[in-house]
Structure 1
C-alpha cells in the first residue's frame, strides 16, 4: 500500500521548488494545450517563475500549498481569497494517484474557512476533466487566453456555520 499524501502550506523558501514543479507539469502534462510550441511553453512557464511565485507567497490574499509523499514534493496548488484557483500542478509521475485531489481538497478547505461560497478556475483542456471529476461545472463558454484554450469552471462550496 502506498503512503498517504501530506499537504502543507508553502513557505517563502519554496518559491523555486514550486516553480520547478509547475514547469515540469506544464512541459510533460500539458502537451495537449501547448503542442510543444517553444514560444507558448516559454510564455506559460514564465508566468510561474520563482519571482512570480515569491510575490504570490508574500500576498496575504493568496494561499499556496505543497503535496508531499514521504517528504518528497509531488505537487503544488494556489488559490486566492476571491475563490480563484490559480493552479494545481502535479509531477507527471504522480498523475492520477491522489495528489491533485488532496491539493484541491486543501485549497477548497482554506476557502471554506474564510467563508468563500464558490471556487473558480480557468482550466486548460488538459486539466478540465480533472476539475469536472472534482465537481466543477462550466460557468461560461470556452475562451482563448494568450493562445491557450480555456474552460471557465466553478464549484459551490458548502460554508460551515
Structure 2
C-alpha cells in the first residue's frame, strides 16, 4: 500500500529543496514542453533559485506548500491571493502518486479561505491532462511564452 501524501506550508528553511524539486521537475519531467532546448530550460529555471524563492515567503499574497511522501519532500506548489495557481512541481520519480493532486487541493483550500470563488492557471502541455482531472478547463487560446506553450485554465472553487 502506498504511503499517504502530506502537505504543509513551506518555510524559508525549505527554499533549497524547493529550488531542487522545481529544477528537476522541469528538466526531467517537462521534456514534452522544453524538448531539451537548453535555452528554454534556462529561461524557465533562471528565477527558481534559492535567492529568488526566499522573498516569496515574505509576500503575504503568496501561499507556498510542500508535498511529503514517505516523509520526503517530493513536490511543491504556489498560489497567489489573486486566485492564480502559479505552479505545481513534483519530482518525476513521484509522478502519479497523488502528490500534485494533494498540493493543488491544499492551494485551493487556501484560496477559498481568502474568499475566492475561482482559480486560474497557465498550464504546460505536460500538466494539461493533470489539471483537467482536477476540474480545470481551458478558457482562452493557448499562447507562447519564453519558448513554452501555455494553456489558460480555470475552475470554480466550491463554496464553503
TM class, shorter-chain normalised?
A: over 0.9
1:51, 1:39 → 2: CA distance? 21
2:44, 2:19 → 1: CA distance? 11
Correspondence for 2:53 = 53
Partner SS, residue 97 of structure 2: coil
1:24, 1:43 → 2: CA distance? 14
Deviation, 1:47, is 2.2
Partner SS, residue 88 of structure 2: strand
Runs (5+) with no aligned partner, structure 1: none
Give the alignment of 1:63-142 within 5 angstroms.
63-142=63-142
Per the normalisation by structure 2, the TM-score is 0.97
Deviation, 1:122, is 0.6
- Contact 2:43 2:146 survives alignment (8 Å): no
Which deviates further from its counterpart, 24-33 or 44-53?
44-53
What is the CA RMSD across the aligned residues, in angstroms?
Answer: 0.8
1:108, 1:56 → 2: CA distance? 18
Q: Does 1:6 align with 2:6?
A: yes
- Contact 2:5 2:102 survives alignment (8 Å): yes
Deviation, 1:5, is 0.7
Moved over 6 A (4+): none
2:106, 2:132 → 1: CA distance? 17
Deviation, 1:16, is 1.1
Per the normalisation by structure 1, the TM-score is 0.97
2:2, 2:129 → 1: CA distance? 24
Aligned residues: 160
1:133, 1:73 → 2: CA distance? 23
1:96, 1:80 → 2: CA distance? 25
Runs (5+) with no aligned partner, structure 2: none
